[in-house]
Structure 1
Amino acid sequence: MPKPVPMRQMPQIAHVDVNCFYASAERAFDPSLEGRPLVVLSNNDGCAVTRSPEAKALGIATGEPWFKLAPRAKEWGLVAKSSNYELYGDISSRVMELLGRYSAWLEVYSIDEAFLGVKGGPDDLLVLGRRMKEAVRRHVGVPVCVGIAPTKTLAKLCNKWAKNNPAFGGVCLWEAVPADVRELLMTRLPVDEIWGIAGRLTRRLNVLGIFTVQDLVSADPVMIRDKFSVVLMRTVLELRGTPCIPMEEERIGRDQLIFSRSFATPVTTAAGLREVFSVYGQQASARLSKHGLQAKVLTAFAATSPFRDNEQAYPSVCVPLPMPTADPLLLTRAAHALLPNIREGLKYAKAGLMLTDLRPTGNQPPLEPFENRHEERGIGSLLEYVSHRFGRGSIGLGHAGIKSGLDWSMKRGMRSPRYTTHWDELPVVKAA
C-alpha cells in the first residue's frame, strides 16, 4: 500500500486577487487618488460598484446610487470615476500575463482574480506568494493578496484572511497557520463569506444552526448533499482539505452570451433601435469570434423603464439561426426581427441580445449549398481585430457605421483617460 504523501509535497493552489480592482486601476495612473475615498460607478454613472477602503470607512455601500452620494461628495472629499472598461481590461491582461510566469497552470477566474497550481514546501510557497505580490505591484501598479491552500475554496478563504488581517502581510498560506488559529478564524467568519454561498442559501443553512464557516466544516457532508446539493457537499469537503473543484485552463465554454446595455438617453423609435441592434450584433459577433464560438439561437429584447407605470413595454423575439454562426450580418438581421414589435414614441431604456446554443467554430461544417460566404470571409474576426487595435467605433457595417457621440450610448462623464490603449490618451510624465 503506497504511503500517504505529506501535505507539503502535494500540489497546492494559489488564489491571487486584486484589491478593489477598479479603484486600484484608477490609482495606478493617478497617484493623487491614493488615500482619498474613491468610488467607481456602474454603467451610465448609476451607482457605486467599487469602493476604496477610505470610501468603505465612510459607510458607502456597494450599489449606493451616485445621485445620493453626489451632494456630500465635496464634504467627504469623495472622488467618483465612471467605469473605464478598456483600461480595466488591459490592466487585467497585464496582471494575468505576469502571473502566468510563475506557473504553467493558470486559471483566469474573473477580471481581477486567478488560480495557479503551485508546488513546494511551506517556506518556498510563502516566498513565491510574496514574489507574485511584489511583482504585480511593481510592474503593473496594483495591489494583490495571495492565498495558498490544498483546495480552491480554502485558497479563497486564505486570500480573504490575507486581505482583512494585516498580520499576514497580504499573503496567507493555509499550512503556515496553526490549526487552533485556523479554527478560531473560521469560527469568527460568517458562513456567507464562503465562496459560492449567499442570500437564500445562507438563510437555509442558518435554519439548521450553521452560522459560521466552522459550523459548515463540522457538518455531515452526506446530510449537506441530501438537504442541499452535491455542489455544497463539495464545498464542505474542500473546506476539510479534499480537492473537489478541479483547475480549469479555460472558462470560455459558456452556455450563453448576453450583450446588454442601458441607454444614457432613451430610444423612442424603431429606427433608433435598428441602429442599437446593428451595433450590438456586430459587437456580439466580435466577441464570439474572439473565443472561437458560434451561436445557433439569438434572442433580442428591449425594455422601457420599470418606473414608468403608464409606459411599460418589454418586447422580445427568439430567432433560430439557419446554422451555427458568428457572422455579424446574420446576427444583426436576426436581431432586427424585433423591430416590428417596437412601439413608436415609448421611451426604451435598455436593449440587448442573448446568444445561446453556443458551439466551437468549425465543429459542425455546413453542407456546401448552405455555406455562408460572409462566414468564410471572417468578417467577425476582422471587426474584433480592428476594434481591438484602433478602438471601439473605428469600424462598423450598415446602420452600425462609424459614428461618434451616439445619443443612446453609455454615459461616462467622469471617465479617466484610457491610458494604455489609445495613443491620444497616453499618460504624460514631466520632470521637475
Structure 2
Amino acid sequence: MANQTAKHVKILNGVCVWDRAPHQTTEDLLGRLPTVEIWGIGPKLTKRLRGLGIWTAKDLRDADEVRIRDKFSIVQMRTVLELRGIPCIPMEEEHEIKNQLIFSRSFSDPITDRIGMEQVMGIYAQQASARLHRHQKQAKILTAWAMTSHYNQNQDHQPSVTIKLPGPTADPVVLTRAAKQILPHILVGVKYARAGVVVMDLQPMAMQETFEPFVSPHEAKNIGALVQQIRSEHGTKAIGLGQAGLKQGPAWEMRREMMSPRYTTHWRELLIVKAA
C-alpha cells in the first residue's frame, strides 16, 4: 500500500510513511484496491466476498470482523484487523513453504488470446518448478486460473482448472503441460487482467519411491534441476521451455519503471553514502 502511494502520489519526495500519509489519500487508495489484490485473497474468496457486498480493501476493512471469521476463517479476520492497523500477522524473514505455492501477477496490458495465456502459464509453471526444486519439494495438484478486471463489468470471466498430477513432481515439463489445460477455457477477445498457477499438496522430494513406469522421462533426465542450475548461474531469463523461453520480456509483464530501489534486499541496489 505504501509502495503504491509513493509511486503515484507525491508524499515526502517519493517515500511514503503510511502512518503519516493524509487520511484522505489512504482512504482513496483503499477504496480503489480490489480485494483480489490483498495478500492471501484469491479469486474464489473474492467471489464469496463480492456476495457479501465486499469489493475493495476499504469494504473489507470496514466489515464486521466476527462475521468474516464465521463466514470464512480466523485468517481472513486477521486480514481485516491488519487493514485497520492492528498487527496480528507476524512478519517472517524466511520461512519454509508449507502446503502450496502461488504464482500470480496482474498484466500491464490485458491478454485476449490463447497464445498469450499459453506463455503466461508456461512462465508461471516453470517458476513453480524452480521454487519447488530450490526447497526440495514436489507437488501432487496444480490449479491454473485467469480472471478479468474487477472494473470490467461487461466481461466477467474467471475460468479455472484443477489437475491431479500423475505423481508427486517438480518437473517443469509436467507442470507446464498441466497448467496449459486451462487454454480451452480461455475465451478469445475477452480481456484477462490477471492469471495464476497454484501448486498444492506438497511433500519432500524422495519421500516415497515412485514406480519406474510412472516416472516422467523428463524427471529421469533431471531436466528440472538442470534448468534451475542454468538460471542460477546465468539469470532467470537465460533458459525456458516453449513460449516461456523467449528472452525478451512479454508485453503483458508488469511495468517496473517506477519501482522503488531495493535498498535492503538487493546487493546491487544498496544505497551508497559518501562523506565529504
- C-alpha deviation, 1:426, in angstroms: 7.2
Aligned to 1:309: 153
1:375 is the counterpart of 2:212 = no
Counterpart mapping for 1:340-355 below 5 A: 340-355=184-199
- C-alpha deviation, 1:402, in angstroms: 3.4
1:305-338 deviation digits (Å, cap 9, x = unpaired): 1322221111111111111100010000001111
1:336 is the counterpart of 2:180 = yes
Preserved CA contact (<8 Å) 1:391 1:422: no
Aligned to 1:200: 65
- C-alpha deviation, 1:430, in angstroms: 6.5
Determine the C-alpha separation between the residues in 1 that align with 2:240 and 2:21: 44
Determine the C-alpha separation between the residues in 2 that align with 1:422 and 1:251: 21
TM (norm. structure 2) is 0.66
Task: Kindly provide the amino acid, as one letter, of the partner of residue 22 in structure 2.
Answer: G
- The structure that has the greater radius of gyration is 1
Aligned residue for 1:318, secondary structure, equals strand
Aligned to 2:259: 415
Aligned to 2:82: none
Aligned residue for 1:354, secondary structure, equals strand
Preserved CA contact (<8 Å) 1:299 1:318: yes
Determine the C-alpha separation between the residues in 1 that align with 2:96 and 2:104: 19
Aligned to 1:57: 20
Q: Which runs of 5+ in 2 are unaligned?
A: 33-62, 75-91
- Identity over the aligned pairs, expressed in percent? 44
- C-alpha deviation, 1:375, in angstroms: 1.8
Aligned residue for 1:65, secondary structure, equals helix
User: How well do the aligned residues superpose, as a CA RMSD in angstroms?
Assistant: 3.7
Determine the C-alpha separation between the residues in 2 that align with 1:252 and 1:428: 32
1:295 is the counterpart of 2:258 = no
Aligned residue for 2:105, secondary structure, equals strand
Task: Kindly provide the amino acid, as one letter, of the partner of residue 298 in structure 1.
Answer: L
1:389-423 deviation digits (Å, cap 9, x = unpaired): 44332321111013223111112221245677576
- C-alpha deviation, 1:380, in angstroms: 2.8
Distance 1:360 1:261, change over 3 A: same
Determine the C-alpha separation between the residues in 1 that align with 2:236 and 2:116: 19
1:282 is the counterpart of 2:126 = yes
Preserved CA contact (<8 Å) 2:3 2:16: no
Counterpart mapping for 1:33-432 below 5 A: 39-41=2-4, 54-59=17-22, 65=29, 200-201=65-66, 251-417=95-261
Preserved CA contact (<8 Å) 2:144 2:182: yes
Return 344-353 or 58-67, whichever deviates more: 58-67
Aligned residue for 1:337, secondary structure, equals helix
- C-alpha deviation, 1:381, in angstroms: 3.1
Distance 1:380 1:65, change over 3 A: farther
Determine the C-alpha separation between the residues in 2 that align with 1:339 and 1:271: 9
Distance 1:63 1:404, change over 3 A: farther
